[in-house]
A = this chain, B = another copy of it.
Amino acid sequence: MLLHLMTWTEVEEYLKVSPGIILPIGSTEQHGQTGLIGTDAICAEGIARGVGEMTHTVVAPTINVGMALHQATFPGAIALRPNTLIELIQDYLTSLTRAGFTKFFFVNGYGGNVATLRAAFAETYGYLTDLHIPNAEKVQCRIANWFTCNSVYKLGKELYGTLEGSHATPSEMAVTQYFCPETIRKIPVMAEVGSLYPMHNTTRFRRRYCDRGMGDNSILATPEDGKHFYDLAVEELSEVYLEFLHGE
């Protein structure tokens, strides 16, 4: 069930059954020489919808952009400042809490969002209470990074070993290829594994990865791998979601 394809009365009916909603969030930033700018959003959206189907849960419209300030000097990046992302999340949660949703499950495709999301949740818990919004006390938010699922991590290690890296990884390339096979660029890329370089200042970050972006061993990725990752992530996150939904 995709929120944007429902009517408001259907949402009203749904809320009699469940207070849960899944919110996909990604980023819009470089993913190496062959990776798509929308990789993080594409993966989060696709997997979130899989979880939504498996658990009969409403899925909100995807938040396509995230906290990607250090990527700002690579053309195509759209970065929200942390403060902006906090305000955005606050408005999402306030609107949906007013309607009756109280269990917010963020399927996240981008590590750079985690800290700001957590800050946003804390800000919003306080805000909803301060405004005396009904059910404020029941509101709970959870971040679920598909790429840190145990099963996903294990498969990544099996398939790519140390070449998996941490950005523009073969696994997210594979998932993107699975969802958007028409976009596969078959240039053999054997990039340095994008992993440990500190992501502080955008100018310096750019200088470090000037002519190729960070990461991208897309030569290793296949849509078939992507399907495999997708299946594992959906299954594992569905369990996590249901536990979250029914938890205290």
Interface residue count on the A side (C-beta < 8 Å): 92
Q: Please report which residues of chain A, range 84-98, place their CB below 8 angstroms from some CB of chain B when the two chains form the complex.
A: 84, 86-88, 90-92, 95-96, 98
B82-A123 in contact (CB<8A): yes
Tell me if A122 is interfacial: C-beta within 8 Å of chain B: yes
- The answer for the CA separation of A137 and B204 in the assembled complex, in Å, is 6
Which residues in B have their C-beta under 8 angstroms from that of A204?
Answer: 137-138
Is the CB of A232 closer than 8 A to any CB of chain B? no
Please indicate the chain B residues that have their CB under 8 angstroms from the CB of A35 in the complex.
7
Question: Do A77 and B95 have beta carbons less than 8 Å apart?
Answer: yes
A215 to chain B, nearest CB (A): 12
Contacts of A92 in B (CB 8 A): 65, 78
A82 in contact with B119 (CB, 8 Å): yes
Closest B-chain residue to A70, C-beta based? Answer: B125
**Contact flag A28-B7 (CB < 8 Å), given A82-B123, A87-B84, A129-B203:** no
A201 proximal to B (CB < 8 A): yes
User: Are A98 and B72 interface neighbours, CB within 8 A?
Assistant: yes
Decide: B69 and A125 in contact? CB cutoff 8 A: yes
The reply on A17 being an interface residue by CB < 8 A is no
Evaluate contact between A201 and B69: CB separation under 8 angstroms. no
Against B, the Cβ 8 Å flags (1 = close, 0 = not) of A189-202 are 00000000110111
Contacts of A87 in B (CB 8 A): 81, 83-84, 87-88
A15 and B202 alpha carbons, distance in the complex (Å): 20
Q: Which A residues form the contact surface with B (CB < 8 A)?
A: 2-9, 11-12, 15, 28-38, 41-42, 60-62, 64-65, 67, 69-70, 72-84, 86-88, 90-92, 95-96, 98-100, 112, 114-123, 125-126, 129-132, 136-141, 180, 183, 185, 197-198, 200-204, 213, 247-248
With A8-B30, A62-B64 already in contact, 12 other A-B pairs whose C-beta atoms are closer than 8 Å = A3-B37, A61-B64, A65-B92, A70-B122, A78-B95, A82-B123, A84-B91, A115-B118, A125-B201, A125-B202, A137-B201, A137-B203
